[in-house]
Amino acid sequence: MKIETNYQYLIAMIVIEPYLQKGFENLSETEDRHLYEISESVGKMGNQ
């Protein structure tokens, strides 16, 4: 996932929120992987 716009950044943050509410220890392997991928993309945009 590549985040290039502020809109995409906002959508990524909306997707991350339920994972945070669920708690890291309660995530499935798939959810954990998805959260990691989104978090990496958000972090890359923040470093631009």
Express each pLDDT in 21-42 by its tens digit: 999 999 999 999 999 999 998 8
CA distance 32 to 38: 10
The pTM score is 0.77
Report the chain's mean pLDDT, rounded to a whole number.
90
User: Domain spans of the chain?
Assistant: 6-46
Joined tokens for residue 44: 């890359």
pLDDT band per the 50, 70, 90 thresholds, residue 47: low
CA–CA distance from 8 to each of 2, 12, 23, 24 (Å)? Answer: 9, 6, 23, 23
> Which residues does 38 contact at the CB level (< 8 Å), separation at least 6?
1, 12, 15, 16
Q: What does the pLDDT read at residue 25?
A: 95
pLDDT band per the 50, 70, 90 thresholds, residue 48: low
